A and B are shown apart, each in its own frame.
Chain A
Amino acid sequence: MTDVCMQLAGLARKHGVPGLELEEEWSRTQEVTATEDGSLGCSSSELAQRYVRTAGDHVGYARSEDASEPLEDLAARAVAEAGAVDLSDPAGMLARPRVGEAGAGRNPELEEADVAAMTAMARRCVGRLTDVAGEHSTIECMVRHYACARRVSNSEGLSRLAEHAHYMVRMTYIAFGKGEQHWVQCRSFAPSLDDVDVTELVGRTKLAGEASLDGGTVETGDYPVVISRDVMNQVLVGMWSVFGAEKVATGQSFLAGKLGSRVASPALGLAETAEPAFGGPGCLGIDCEGVVHGASSIVEKGTFVRPVSNLEWAVKMGLPSSTANANRRDSLGRIVPNDVFTAPGNLYVVPGTEDLDGLVAKAGDGVYLTDISDIYHSFSFASGGVSTPCRGVRIRNGKLAEPISAVAWSDSLQSLFANVVACGNAVAWFDMEDLGALWCGSPDVLVSSMHLAAAEL
C-alpha cells in the first residue's frame, strides 16, 4: 500500500466512513498560433487539482485547486458533503472492480513542448494555404502541446498513475463573401509533430473552407448524402449522450429499452478506443475512477450492444463492467469543474474501406455535407429529431460539383443511423474544447437518404 493509500485509510477510519478515494490531476497546455499576416500568438497554462470522494452508504465529493489545502481538510469536506446524500452507494464505490491492469502511461515522457517546432509547424501549415487565402478568406493555424498526469488512489490500496502528452494542430479557415462570413476548423492529433500529416490536414481544411460560402440550395427532398468526418464528429458531440447509460436508463434517450436491439444499419459501428495517437481522455490510460482504458463496442453492425458508462451507471444497469468513461469536464477541458460523470473518452465511428472519392461516386446524385451550424440545439434526445442549417457541396454524376449553403437538415437520428450505407477509411479526431471531455472521431459516412430542405434568407 502506498503512503497516500495508507493516509486515506487512516482518514476514512477517523471520519467513520468505509473508504476514501483521491484523484490527482495535473495538466499543462502551451499553444502557438500563426496567421497568414505573419503574426504569432501564444498562451500557456498549468493546472493542478485534487478530488476526494467518500465510499460507503453516502457519496460526497470535494475538489480543490489550492495546493496548500491539506488532504485532511479536503477529506473532511468530502465527508461533510456525504452527509447530504440519501443514496446508498449504488455501486459500492471502492469495491467496484477496476477492469484491467494498473494503468501505465501510454506516452510517459511528458517532455516540455518544443515551442520552436510548434511555431515552425504553425507557419508551415498557414503557408500551405496562403495561395487560397486572400480578400475572401483568412487562414490561421494553432499548434497545441498538452501534457497531463492522473493518479487515482484509495483507502483499499488502489494506486494507478497514467501520463499522456500529445500535439494538436488546428487549422481555421474563415471565408467571406456576399455579406456572409463562415469559418471551418479541422484538426489533427499526434504524439509528435513528425506524425502530423500536414498534406491531409491542409487538403481537408481547404475543401471544407472553399465549400462553405456562396453556395446555392437544393430542392427540398431526400438525397444520398456523404457526411464529412468533421461534420460527423460534430454530430457525435451533439448527440453522443443518447448512447450514454444515464439517458438510456432514465428514458431520456430514444434508445431507452433498445439495448441488444438493431438501432442502425449493419454498416454502422460505434466504439471507444484507447489508441494513444488520438489525444482524448481515452488515451490517458485510466479514467477518473481508475478504470483502465480499453476498446469497447457501443454499436456493433447496427446493434446497440452496450451504453457508454462509468462504474456507477454500469452497476445501476447491471452491466458487466464500465466502459472506462468516467470523466470530469475538467479533464482535458476548461469548463466548470464537475463531479465524475459519463462522457466519451475517444468515441468513434468505426471506419470502413472506401475513400472519400469512392463514397462520393457511390452517392451519384446527392450532397457532400461539410458543415452544420448548431450542434447545441439541433438534436432532441428523447425523440431523435434533428433540425439544423447546413452547408456542403452538390454531388453530380458521382463527382463533387457546386457549393450549397442555404440548406437545412431536417430529419431524425433514427433515420440517419438506419440509412448508413458505408463508412470511409480515414478517421479524423475532434475535441469539443468548450465542452471539455467530449472527444470523438469519425470517417466520412455515406447515407442513402437524408431529408434536406431548401432554406431562403
Chain B
Amino acid sequence: MAFSSSIMDSTSWVDPALEALSLPLGRGADFSELYFEDNVQTRLSHDGSQISASSVTHMHGAGLYLMSGTETRYGYTNGTDAASLRRLAEGLGSMVPWRVEAPVSTVQPVTEITYEPANPILRNPDEVPTADKKAMLDQAIAIAHAYSPKVVDAHADYQDRMQDVAVLNSEGTFSRERRVVTTLRFFVTVSDGVKSSGNWTNYSFAAGFEALDSEEALRQIVEPTVQTALDGLVAKPIKAGYMPVVVDSGTFIHEDCGHPLESTHLKGGVFAGLVGQQVASPLVTVCDGGVIPGYVGTNAMSDEGVPSATNVLIEDGVLRNYMIDRLGSRQLGMPQTAAGRRQDYRFAPVARMTNTYVRRGTTPTEDIIPSVDYGLYVREVGGGNVDPVTGKFNFLASSGNIIEHGELTDPISNVNMSGRSIDALKRVAAVGDRYFRDTGALCGADSGLIYVTAFMPRILIDGMQVG
C-alpha cells in the first residue's frame, strides 16, 4: 500500500494548528511550535529458520514546544483535531507559572516550504513485495551460516520507515518533508562447544530497499558481524595501561567530541567558551551536517524546520562552532545550525548530531599500524558513553587486535578505553588518507533515538588508557 499522509497531502490541519500556536502566546510564552508527524513502519523478524513476525505501525501525532526566554515546556498528543490541539495548548501553557511571562504576541504569517526528499530512493519500501524482503532475510541468515559452522543462532530484523514531518511555528515557519529509512539488524551467537560469544549490528540507510538488495550488500553487513563474534571466542586480554590506540570507527569521534559539542550540553562543559582556541591536534578537522545523500543522518531540514547545512566544528584543531538548536541559540546568542532533532513527535527537539566525520588526512592508511610498537587497534567501537560536560568518556572496543611490533596479533573483545575529550583529540598523531565505511546507527540521548552516521579515516592516538 502506497504511503500517504494528511501532512503532505493536505493543509486542512494548518488553521487549527495556528490557533493552537496562538493560545500560549497570550499566556506567558514568547514562542510556540507544533511538530506534526505521520509515519508508517513495517517490520519483518526472522528467527533463524523462518519469518516469525510481521508488523505495520502507523504513528500519528503532534508535539507542542513552548518557550519564554530560555524556559521551555513540551507536550504531545495523538489527537490532532482542533479540540485536542487546543486542550494541549491551554493545559501546557498554564499548568504552572512561567518564571518570566513574555508580553502577549501573535503568530507571524506562515511561509510554506515543502522540501524535495534529501536522499535518492530507488525502491520505495512500500512498493517492494514482502516476498523480496523475506528472501533478503533468508539470504542474510544463510550467509552467516555459510561463513562459519560455529554459528549457533542467527536472526535478523528488517525495518523500513516512511515518515512525513511538518514544523509550524509562531515565527512563520511552515516546512514539510518526507523521509525514508531502511534498516537491517543482525544478531549472531557463536560457540566452539566450550565458550559462547555474541554480537549484533544495526545498519540503517537513508535509502530504499536497494540498500539491501544484493548479496554483496548483505555480505558487508553479516560477515563482519559474525567475525566479531568469532573473535570473541579466541580473544586475549590486553595488558592494561596507557598506550597508543589506532581507531577506524567513527563512533569514537561521535562520543569523544560529538556529544560535548551539542549546545544542549555546553553549560559549564569542557568546550564551553573555547571557540577560536586550539582543542585538538592541528591534524583534526571535524564536521557535522545532514547533507550527504544516502547517509542516514541526512534530511532536508532539522526537526525545528532549519535547512540542513555542513557545520565545521573543529578546523585544523581550532574550535569553530557548536551544534546549536533553537534553545541553544537563545542561551548562547549564536545562530542555529540545523541541529534540533528528535526521535518522533513525543520528544522535544534538542541539539544532536547528523552525519559527523573527521576529514581525511595525508598519512597513508597502511602506514599507521606499522608505526606502533605496542598498542591497541580498534576496528569497531561497540558503544560507549561520554559525560558531555566534563568530556570524560568510556568506550568499549568490541572488535580489534593487539598491535605488537607494528603488526596485528591477537584479537581482543570488549576492551574498555577511557579518557577525556580534548586530551584524546590533542593526542591525534596521524590521520589516514581514506575513510572507513559507516554503518548508520541509532543514537540515544535526551530527545530519544535518532538516526546518525559517524565516520572517519584511520587515526592514531599516541596515548590512551586501555583496560
Closest A residue by C-beta to B97: A40
* With contact pairs A59-B53, A456-B465 given, residues A181 and B390 touching in the complex (Cβ less than 8 Å): yes
Interface string of B159-187 (1 = CB under 8 A from A): 00000000000000000000000000001
* With contact pairs A41-B73, A457-B419 given, residues A87 and B449 touching in the complex (Cβ less than 8 Å): no
* With contact pairs A86-B50, A335-B448, A374-B394 given, residues A251 and B153 touching in the complex (Cβ less than 8 Å): yes
Question: Do A43 and B74 touch across chains, with their CB atoms under 8 A apart?
Answer: yes
Residues from 441 to 467 in B contacting A, C-beta threshold 8 Å: 444, 448-449, 465
Decide if B95 is an interface residue (CB 8 Å cutoff).
Answer: yes
Question: Do B196 and A383 touch across chains, with their CB atoms under 8 A apart?
Answer: yes
Q: Shortest Cβ distance from A339 into chain B, in angstroms? A: 5
Decide if B432 is an interface residue (CB 8 Å cutoff).
Answer: no
Main secondary structure of the interface of B (DSSP, over half): strand
Decide if A334 is an interface residue (CB 8 Å cutoff).
Answer: yes
Question: Do A66 and B394 touch across chains, with their CB atoms under 8 A apart?
Answer: no
Decide if B16 is an interface residue (CB 8 Å cutoff).
Answer: no
Q: Shortest Cβ distance from A254 into chain B, in angstroms? A: 7
Chain B contacts for A381, CB-based, 8 A: 198
Decide if A137 is an interface residue (CB 8 Å cutoff).
Answer: no
Decide if A377 is an interface residue (CB 8 Å cutoff).
Answer: yes
Q: Shortest Cβ distance from A110 into chain B, in angstroms? A: 16
Question: Do B191 and A251 touch across chains, with their CB atoms under 8 A apart?
Answer: yes
* With contact pairs A39-B71, A44-B92, A382-B189 given, residues A64 and B58 touching in the complex (Cβ less than 8 Å): yes
Chain A contacts for B38, CB-based, 8 A: 66
Residues from 152 to 192 in A contacting B, C-beta threshold 8 Å: 176, 179-182
Interface string of A231-257 (1 = CB under 8 A from B): 000000000000000000011101000
Give bound CA distance, A32 to B59, whole Å.
26
Decide if A47 is an interface residue (CB 8 Å cutoff).
Answer: yes
Q: Select A45's contact among B41, B96, B346, beta carbons within 8 Å.
A: B346
Decide if A85 is an interface residue (CB 8 Å cutoff).
Answer: yes
Question: Do B58 and A69 touch across chains, with their CB atoms under 8 A apart?
Answer: yes
Decide if A380 is an interface residue (CB 8 Å cutoff).
Answer: yes
Question: Do B92 and A42 touch across chains, with their CB atoms under 8 A apart?
Answer: yes
Q: Shortest Cβ distance from B460 into chain A, in angstroms? A: 21
Q: Shortest Cβ distance from B252 into chain A, in angstroms? A: 14
Decide if A455 is an interface residue (CB 8 Å cutoff).
Answer: yes
Question: Do B78 and A334 touch across chains, with their CB atoms under 8 A apart?
Answer: no
Chain B contacts for A62, CB-based, 8 A: 55-58
Closest A residue by C-beta to B391: A179
Give bound CA distance, A337 to B161, whole Å.
12
Question: Do B54 and A44 touch across chains, with their CB atoms under 8 A apart?
Answer: no
Q: Shortest Cβ distance from A61 into chain B, in angstroms? A: 4
Question: Do A39 and B54 touch across chains, with their CB atoms under 8 A apart?
Answer: no
Decide if A83 is an interface residue (CB 8 Å cutoff).
Answer: yes
Decide if A95 is an interface residue (CB 8 Å cutoff).
Answer: no
Decide if A434 is an interface residue (CB 8 Å cutoff).
Answer: yes
Q: Shortest Cβ distance from B377 into chain A, in angstroms? A: 19
Q: Select B197's contact among A30, A179, A383, beta carbons within 8 Å.
A: A383
Q: Shortest Cβ distance from B225 into chain A, in angstroms? A: 14
Interface string of A426-457 (1 = CB under 8 A from B): 00000000100000000000000000010111
Q: Shortest Cβ distance from B305 into chain A, in angstroms? A: 21
Segment touching A, from B141-149, B378-386, B401-409: B378-386
Chain A contacts for B465, CB-based, 8 A: 455-457
Decide if A77 is an interface residue (CB 8 Å cutoff).
Answer: yes
Q: Select B79's contact among A40, A46, A119, A376, beta carbons within 8 Å.
A: A46
Q: Select A250's contact among B71, B77, B88, B189, beta carbons within 8 Å.
A: B189
Decide if B329 is an interface residue (CB 8 Å cutoff).
Answer: no
Decide if A414 is an interface residue (CB 8 Å cutoff).
Answer: no
Closest A residue by C-beta to B189: A252
Decide if B418 is an interface residue (CB 8 Å cutoff).
Answer: yes
Give bound CA distance, A367 to B134, whole Å.
52
Question: Do A84 and B389 touch across chains, with their CB atoms under 8 A apart?
Answer: no
Chain A contacts for B61, CB-based, 8 A: 47, 65
Give bound CA distance, A42 to B74, whole Å.
7
Question: Do B54 and A252 touch across chains, with their CB atoms under 8 A apart?
Answer: no
Chain B contacts for A67, CB-based, 8 A: 78-79
Q: Shortest Cβ distance from A83 into chain B, in angstroms? A: 7
Residues from 71 to 109 in A contacting B, C-beta threshold 8 Å: 77-78, 80-87
Question: Do A82 and B58 touch across chains, with their CB atoms under 8 A apart?
Answer: no
Chain B contacts for A453, CB-based, 8 A: 240
Question: Do B73 and A43 touch across chains, with their CB atoms under 8 A apart?
Answer: yes
Chain A contacts for B71, CB-based, 8 A: 39, 41
Question: Do A434 and B56 touch across chains, with their CB atoms under 8 A apart?
Answer: no
Chain B contacts for A382, CB-based, 8 A: 189, 196-198
Question: Do B418 and A455 touch across chains, with their CB atoms under 8 A apart?
Answer: yes
Q: Shortest Cβ distance from B211 into chain A, in angstroms? A: 19
Question: Do A87 and B52 touch across chains, with their CB atoms under 8 A apart?
Answer: yes
Q: Shortest Cβ distance from A51 into chain B, in angstroms? A: 9
Question: Do B385 and A373 touch across chains, with their CB atoms under 8 A apart?
Answer: yes
Q: Select A43's contact among B75, B134, B394, B416, beta carbons within 8 Å.
A: B75
Question: Do A77 and B189 touch across chains, with their CB atoms under 8 A apart?
Answer: no
Given contacts A43-B75, A382-B189, 14 further A-B contacts (CB under 8 A): A45-B346, A46-B88, A62-B58, A65-B58, A65-B60, A82-B54, A86-B134, A180-B387, A250-B153, A252-B153, A339-B45, A339-B53, A387-B396, A389-B418
Show 21 residue pairs from A and B whose CB-CB distance is below 8 angstroms, ordered by the A residue: A40-B97, A44-B92, A46-B88, A65-B58, A65-B60, A66-B60, A67-B78, A77-B1, A81-B55, A84-B44, A87-B52, A251-B191, A335-B449, A339-B55, A374-B394, A376-B385, A377-B385, A382-B197, A383-B232, A434-B444, A457-B420
Q: Top 9 closest A-B pairs, CB basis? A: A61-B55, A86-B50, A377-B383, A84-B54, A44-B75, A382-B198, A382-B196, A66-B60, A81-B54
